[in-house]
Amino acid sequence: MPLDRPIVVVDTETANLSGAPHLLEIGAVRVVSGEVVDSFETLVAPAIEVEPEATEIHGITNEDIRSAPLTHSAIERFASWAGDDWLCAHNAGFDARVFGFEQARSQVALPASPFLCTLKLARKFIPESPDHKLETLCQHLDLEDGTHHRALADAVWCWQVLEECADRAETESAAELLTHCGTPVTVPGFLPGPARMKPRLRPLTEAVRNGDEVTLLYGGSSGAPAPLQVLPRLLYERHKKSYLEAECIRTGMLKTYLLDRIQKVVEQPV
């Protein structure tokens, strides 16, 4: 049943499976009156290497993204394309969290519109499915065979599941479907929480703000802490622990450091 407002159905793939997510691919379709009228697709060159475990799921390798746009550029384009339309994703909290971390890193404002969640809708309106993974739902609903775990393809599958849920709910109202999705999901609601900072670590806040290099005295539980020269990028809390994302000056790689293991911050002389 066509919904009464345009919906941008989106899916993301990530470069990693654990820790703070790093965007690797965005795929989306804009649906108006039950028809796909436009699509968006891009690979993304994240600030980390693609983990082999992630490649096993979606098939995207480091070689595939050598000419891909940087994250900042990719999400700027997506934000402009999506505009103010409502969003939809399967397990919407996952995609909102991916976008939330990338908004925090880049300071690019992503759409703040609410997400419809086809995982929650399918649990309510397609209860007989063996489980409610997107691939299982496609098999259960006898949808066309095709690629899974690539962003644009999964966005199309997600749209088809959304249409089935709307048919079973006998509604054209996106707002009514949203009431069945529980606590509203938005990108601003999934921004990473602020890190809990001990007084000795407060220079990190200024370093992130000003783009200053610092030296961390890091570790020390089983020996002397090691000096690490880094360029801080992001401070955040996840699962009740606080972290720093920073570029390691020696390797040029983006790494994550547990704040509890930073013994001291030495600011670099100007």
pLDDT at 220 over 90: no
Write down all domains in the chain, each with its CATH number in brackets. Answer: 7-190 (3.30.420.10), 199-267 (2.30.30)
Overall average pLDDT of the 217-232 stretch: 87
The pLDDT value given to residue 20? 95
Instruction: Identify which of 174, 149, 143 has the alpha carbon closest to the alpha carbon of residue 161.
Output: 143
pLDDT digits (tens, 9 = 90+) for 105-144: 999 999 999 999 999 999 999 999 999 999 999 999 998 7
pLDDT tens figures, 20-29: 999 999 999 9
Q: In a 3-state reduction of DSSP, which class is residue 137? A: helix
Q: What is the mean pLDDT of residues 185-211?
A: 95
**How far apart are the two ends of the chain, measured CA to CA in Å?**
63
Average pLDDT over every residue of 47-74: 96
Quickly list DSSP for 167-185: HHHT---HHHHHHTT-S-B
Residue 40: CB atoms within 10 A of its CB come to: 20
In a 13 Å sphere around the CA of 104, the CA atoms on its Cβ side amount to: 26
Mean pLDDT of 70-88: 98
pLDDT for 49 beyond 80: yes
- How many beta carbons lie within 10 A of that of residue 5, not counting itself? 14
Mean pLDDT over residues 2-9, rounded? 96
CA dist 126 → 76, 87, 136, 170 (Å) = 35, 21, 11, 13
Q: How far is CA 246 from CA 47, 234, 266, in A?
A: 10, 7, 15
Question: Would you place residue 221 in the very low, low, confident or very high pLDDT band (cuts 50, 70, 90)?
Answer: low
The pair phi, psi for residue 136, each rounded to 5°, is -65, -40
| CA distance linking residue 264 with residue 104, whole number of Å | 25
Q: What local confidence, expressed as pLDDT, does residue 223 receive?
A: 72
CA distance 86 to 136: 25
Mean pLDDT of 42-54: 97
The edge-to-edge listing of strands for the beta sheet with 115-117 is 35-43, 23-32, 7-14, 86-89, 115-117
Model confidence band, residue 60 (pLDDT cutoffs 50, 70, 90):
very high
Decide: residue 203, CB within 10 A, 0-12 exposed, 13-18 middle, 19+ buried.
middle
Give me the pLDDT at residue 149, please.
Answer: 84
8 A C-beta contact, residue 204 and residue 215 = no
**Under 8 Å between Cβ of 57 and 149:** yes
Distance (Å) of CA 173 to CA 155, 161, 260: 20, 16, 48
Give the model's confidence band at 270: pLDDT under 50 very low, under 70 low, under 90 confident, else very high.
very low
Nearest to 86 by CA among 149, 177, 1: 177
Distance CA 103, CA 191 (A): 8
- Look at the block and give the residue holding tokens 């704040």: 259
Structure tokens belonging to residue 60: 């995207």
Above 80 in pLDDT, residue 262? yes
pTM over cut 0.85: yes
pLDDT of residue 148: 81
pLDDT at residue 269 in the model: 62
Residue 257, pLDDT above cutoff 70: yes
